[in-house]
């Protein structure tokens, strides 16, 4: 096998599990299971360890099918609605994100997980190494959430989470939490963290005495939920993906993404209404998503204040004769009585 080398030999390539993950075959963990099951082979001979070093994927097969060379990593932003599972299939028959995604997309792997009732930004990629880079806590990629919860909490309690907290023997790292606003008996809390452990946000807020009723992920690293609507998916531009891989903690925000069809699409990515999928470009230059522009309202008429000129009043219709001169104001007979100091009217002589 000229293409393979044992782990003890000098490395002149990469581990086979890494290359297969980069080619989008599966995640690295799944590939390790596939190798253990004897499904991966080099020149017809099953691979014994995922640490096997190879220079390329030439001669590598999975289930007897040749593996193509890896293409450039692609990254998609998906607005996951509430009520969908982030898994390929569910034994209980519940709906998953793959039941709703357009059928003409490449094979996509989710970056991390969102709970069944959690909504918001979910990253999907074709590259297993990019997936791993985004998920590892050591990379330091931030995740931002907005949570609506029932109960009362003080800002000082949230600020104490910056030092981390231990709950039932599980240690959670530093969390940057802020109280956004109160709405009746509910509060809105923004939380930024880098670990992303299972149900971390919900457990930490429950530890503070809050009951979460809605949870939305708004940001993952520099990638924003932005104006993507529930069920809509967009692709990050290639140069933004490259910029992120060079510096995961300070990667640029994606200025534009290709927005694809929303939920309710037929096979082939066509909208269910029979029309063509509308592709637009979404601009985003800041770290947090820009707020939508509000429609302009007509200016309100301010009440007059002392010193303001009195606005002109509309002319009243005349009750007397009409003036013969066009545009002239008709004369109005005076009905007021004579006041003290007025001169007496002269009487005509007979």
Catalytic residues: 115
Mapping DSSP onto H, E and C, the string for 289-335 reads CCCCCCCCCCCCCCCCCCCCCCCCCCCCCCCCCCCCCCCCCCCCCCC
The answer to whether residues 277 and 265 touch, using CB atoms and an 8 Å cutoff, is yes
Phi first, then psi: give them for residue 21, nearest 5 degrees: -65, -40
User: d(Cα 124, Cα 27) in Å, to the nearest integer?
Assistant: 12
DSSP-assigned letters across all residues of 161-209 = GGG-EEETTEEE---EEEEEEEETTEEEEEEEES---TTHHHHHHHHTT
Q: In whole angstroms, how far apart are CA 19 and each of 27, 31, 159, 202, 239?
A: 10, 10, 43, 36, 22
DSSP 87: S
Longest CA–CA span in the chain (Å) reads 143
């Amino acid at each position: 096998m000229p293409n393979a080398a044992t782990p003890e030999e000098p490395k002149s390539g990469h581990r086979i599990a890494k290359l297969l993950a980069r080619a989008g075959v599966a995640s690295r963990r799944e590939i390790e299971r596939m190798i253990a099951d004897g499904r991966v082979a080099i020149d017809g001979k099953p691979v014994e360890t995922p640490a096997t070093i190879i220079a390329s994927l030439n001669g590598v097969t999975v289930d007897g099918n040749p593996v193509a060379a890896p293409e450039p990593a692609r990254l998609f932003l998906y607005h996951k609605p509430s009520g969908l599972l982030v898994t390929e299939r569910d034994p209980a028959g519940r709906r998953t994100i793959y039941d709703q995604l357009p059928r003409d997309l490449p094979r996509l792997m989710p970056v991390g997980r969102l709970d069944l009732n959690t909504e918001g930004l979910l990253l999907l990629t074709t590259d297993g190494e990019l997936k791993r880079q985004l998920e590892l806590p050591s990379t330091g990629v931030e995740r931002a959430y907005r949570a609506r919860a029932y109960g009362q909490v003080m800002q000082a309690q949230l600020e104490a989470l910056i030092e981390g907290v231990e709950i039932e023997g599980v240690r959670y790292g530093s969390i940057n939490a802020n109280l956004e606003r109160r709405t009746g008996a509910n509060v809105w809390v923004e939380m930024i963290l880098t670990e992303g452990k299972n149900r971390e946000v919900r457990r930490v807020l429950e530890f503070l005495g809050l009951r979460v009723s809605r949870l939305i992920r708004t940001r993952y690293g520099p990638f924003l939920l932005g104006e993507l609507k529930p069920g809509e998916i967009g692709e990050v531009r290639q140069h933004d993906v490259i910029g992120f891989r060079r510096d995961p903690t300070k990667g640029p925000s994606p200025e534009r993404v290709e927005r694809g069809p929303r939920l309710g699409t037929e096979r082939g990515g066509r909208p269910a209404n029979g029309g063509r999928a509308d592709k637009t470009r979404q601009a985003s230059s800041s770290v947090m998503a820009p707020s939508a522009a509000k429609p302009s309202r007509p200016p309100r008429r301010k009440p007059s204040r002392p010193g303001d000129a009195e606005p002109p009043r509309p002319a009243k219709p005349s009750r007397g004769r009409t003036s013969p001169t066009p545009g002239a104001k008709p004369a109005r007979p005076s009905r007021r009585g004579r006041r003290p100091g007025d001169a007496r009217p002269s009487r005509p002589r007979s």
